[in-house]
Structure 1
């Protein structure tokens, strides 16, 4: 058994090692690149500020705010520095803000790291760091490529977009899906979507009726244009062709993320209103499938003559099938606006068989895309409340459901007031 003196000597010998270890821990820094984690959240009238894969550039406006997001697993202290350099200036001052705490970082020529000070983070979850230019003796405040992040709040690790090859997708944000198990020989699928006010941001697709060959839903394409979209992919063995379309519907080929046929109706749909969707998968008897879609305008309860608009019928070669892989999803397709909070309610899902039997879908399996599963972004969730499911994404919120969760909603107990045989459809 060691004596008290021996234990004291041993403790004194180990003390420098402990201090060194603690100092090393305190000095550990994580570099968070702006390329996949930053957005211009307040833009100057000229709109010249730019975040690309390499960071923040052309930063000349005092009105512009660049916001950087990362996820901390515990509250505590954050020590922040800007990483980058000056562009045509010798000295600039930048305001750095976190949870209402403001510090000034001074950028001087000859350096690449510029301390911004210490901040307190009150809770685990996403942290928003705002950067605003204060003054510069040149035309630009600087080129900022990253944040250097340290402090006790980082001791359990950070989550942020760290794959430069996929910064485009990280800035678009994660997508979430509701998967429905429809009965065999389902020919029609009916569902409804309601987008809450304040969640209908530019660059959002609220997809209602998806299937193995395509999808149908509503989009916000710009400040002045909204669409009802119906697209069908090309098959591996043939090209999808248009058979017919409704009045004012635009039909064309599409490319980019795959190829196929796209049809859309420009329609100024409104948040807070409930819209109805029907898709049909009809085997044509010759080895192909005819996919059709209809869009239902808002409908007062009890009405049986609620108006429908026919979108299109596309012929999908190479497969003869009824509805398979039925699902809904939410996505952002504008990477510059991937920080805005989006949400939609998805309800009243019904599958209709080829013999006319209606079956209500009251459960859905929640899945996510690669941006979420690879932990580049965590702000994707879903659930069920009362008679509908919901999906929410891209708001840098901090609570999310796990992928694979099965949600269950209450039954509506009343079939939709729609006569499938009377849906509008032009002759071939």
Structure 2
């Protein structure tokens, strides 16, 4: 005789389904997730041994895996790994608690790490460190398995389609879109950026003045090099600048002293200019762009950077873009990390005092912005991004796997800075005569 509480066999499962009971007979339903290390892990201590998946040979190396859970929950964790030969022992650490696991050569599968409570929604960090090995490497790690309550949602980089492991490791890029005034065409766009102390890790690009065909801002390229960067895309869509037809190439019209001018590729192609300049955190920097049709079917794009110590505007570069006849559109700022090894580090900036000037010379203040994100953010593969307004400035933040997040598509309003309207003699700008 089959009792109602009996779960043996398919009949018990059928009764449970009909009555709306858990198929696990009183136990909470669970789901198992698999977090691939390819797009969700970083070397957070020691050397990573180069690009791609590094050989795990040093006991000094700590590899950290991140995923996000949307609620407090008890998580049962496992490690999918394999070892070609020999034996090894590794340490797995989570929130101050550690377990040691044994790997044996020729064996592959999932090793049980154990159950760990997560007290609140947010990111979970798992550290992996080799202790002993008889072979060359500690092992080849593939994924963290996570058994969680069925209603829980995990966020992580789930697949490598379109090279998403790389983009996911870089972290989510976020943007502020500024609505330009109606009426006469916009010719000039002005913005100010301040990077707070400690928010400038290597790989950060704080883009101030974006427009429909390019971008202008500053970067952290190494411990000793910082750049002011201005680029304009070609109208010909390709990641290889060598493929651009001659009549669709960006032409460098003029550049400032010490500025490098050339081409770029990989994320579209076009003309690029940059100037090595040791900008500092905590200081506010000014950016100015001009977009003006030449009347012959092309458009000239120019960028100036204000030097606080000299109290003057420096020309970065002027480019001519063929097959283009328009003034400035698509004003925006963005925040990104271009170094995939630094995607676990947080960065942020303040963006304030935005102004647009039309073809008649009339300045109008911009106090609104719309917050958006890239493919990684839109898919929810990474949720460590935020944006908003703080008094007279907008802000953006990304990377670092912080818990809070701001909904994409949100609109923000900052306080007016009408008393700080730009006062610029356009005729004195180097390059404005073009």
Query: TM-score when scaled to structure 2?
Result: 0.88
Aligned residue for 2:239?
Answer: none
Does structure 1 retain, via aligned residues, the 8 Å contact 2:427–2:433?
no
Task: Tell me whether 1:176 sits opposite 2:174 in the alignment.
Answer: yes
Aligned residue for 1:213?
Answer: 213
Per-residue Cα deviation, 1:91-125 (whole angstroms, up to 9, x for no partner):
x2211112212222222232422222221211111
CA shift for structure 1 position 14? 5.7
Match for 2:38 among 32, 35, 38?
35
Alignment of 1:219-238 (within 5 A): 219-236=219-236, 238=248
Alignment of 1:417-428 (within 5 A): 417-425=423-431
Aligned residue for 1:409?
Answer: 414
Does structure 2 retain, via aligned residues, the 8 Å contact 1:244–1:426?
no
Alignment of 1:322-337 (within 5 A): 322-337=327-342
Per-residue Cα deviation, 1:28-50 (whole angstroms, up to 9, x for no partner):
42111000111111124xx42x6
Aligned residue for 2:119?
Answer: 122
Alignment of 1:290-309 (within 5 A): 290-298=300-308, 306-309=311-314
Does structure 1 retain, via aligned residues, the 8 Å contact 2:318–2:431?
no
Cα distance in 2 between the residues matched to 1:333 and 1:22 = 49
Report the 3-state secondary structure (helix = DSSP H, G, I; strand = E; otherwise coil) of the residue aligned with 1:421.
helix
Cα distance in 2 between the residues matched to 1:195 and 1:79 = 40
Does structure 1 retain, via aligned residues, the 8 Å contact 2:69–2:124?
yes
Alignment of 1:43-58 (within 5 A): 43-44=46-47, 47-48=48-49, 52=52, 56-58=53-55
Mean Cα deviation higher: 318-327 or 110-119: 110-119
Per-residue Cα deviation, 1:332-386 (whole angstroms, up to 9, x for no partner):
1111111110101111100011111111110001111111112221112210001
Alignment of 1:10-409 (within 5 A): 10-13=3-6, 17=13, 21=24, 28-44=31-47, 47-48=48-49, 52=52, 56-90=53-87, 92-109=88-105, 110-152=107-149, 155-165=151-161, 166-183=164-181, 184-236=184-236, 238-298=248-308, 306-409=311-414
Does structure 1 retain, via aligned residues, the 8 Å contact 2:230–2:274?
yes
Per-residue Cα deviation, 1:68-96 (whole angstroms, up to 9, x for no partner):
11111111222211111114322x22111
Structure 1 residues 24 and 335: alpha-carbon distance in aligned structure 2, compared to 1, 3 A threshold: farther
Does structure 1 retain, via aligned residues, the 8 Å contact 2:5–2:25?
no
Per-residue Cα deviation, 1:296-333 (whole angstroms, up to 9, x for no partner):
1237xxxxx72221101101111221110110001111
Cα distance in 2 between the residues matched to 1:279 and 1:311 = 10
Cα distance in 2 between the residues matched to 1:81 and 1:106 = 13
Mean Cα deviation higher: 129-138 or 406-415: 129-138
Report the 3-state secondary structure (helix = DSSP H, G, I; strand = E; otherwise coil) of the residue aligned with 2:38.
coil
Mean Cα deviation higher: 285-294 or 71-80: 71-80
Cα distance in 2 between the residues matched to 1:291 and 1:310 = 12
Report the 3-state secondary structure (helix = DSSP H, G, I; strand = E; otherwise coil) of the residue aligned with 1:295.
strand
Does structure 2 retain, via aligned residues, the 8 Å contact 1:35–1:51?
no
Does structure 2 retain, via aligned residues, the 8 Å contact 1:40–1:51?
no
Query: TM-score when scaled to structure 1?
Result: 0.90
Report the 3-state secondary structure (helix = DSSP H, G, I; strand = E; otherwise coil) of the residue aligned with 2:4.
helix
Per-residue Cα deviation, 1:276-311 (whole angstroms, up to 9, x for no partner):
100001111212111000001237xxxxx7222110
Cα distance in 1 between the residues matched to 2:101 and 2:121 = 25
CA shift for structure 1 position 61? 1.4
Cα distance in 2 between the residues matched to 1:364 and 1:57 = 41
Cα distance in 2 between the residues matched to 1:22 and 1:290 = 71
Per-residue Cα deviation, 1:141-171 (whole angstroms, up to 9, x for no partner):
111011111144x641311111212211111
Q: Which ranges of structure 2 fall in alignment gaps of 5 or more residues?
A: 17-21, 237-246
Cα distance in 1 between the residues matched to 2:71 and 2:28 = 16
Structure 1 residues 426 and 157: alpha-carbon distance in aligned structure 2, compared to 1, 3 A threshold: closer
Q: Which ranges of structure 1 fall in alignment gaps of 5 or more residues?
A: 1-5, 300-304
CA shift for structure 1 position 57? 4.1
Per-residue Cα deviation, 1:163-217 (whole angstroms, up to 9, x for no partner):
2122111111111111111124111101001111111111111100010111100
Structure 1 residues 352 and 93: alpha-carbon distance in aligned structure 2, compared to 1, 3 A threshold: same
Does structure 2 retain, via aligned residues, the 8 Å contact 1:213–1:233?
yes
Give me the CA root mean square deviation: 2.2
Report the 3-state secondary structure (helix = DSSP H, G, I; strand = E; otherwise coil) of the residue aligned with 2:271.
strand
Mean Cα deviation higher: 127-136 or 33-42: 127-136
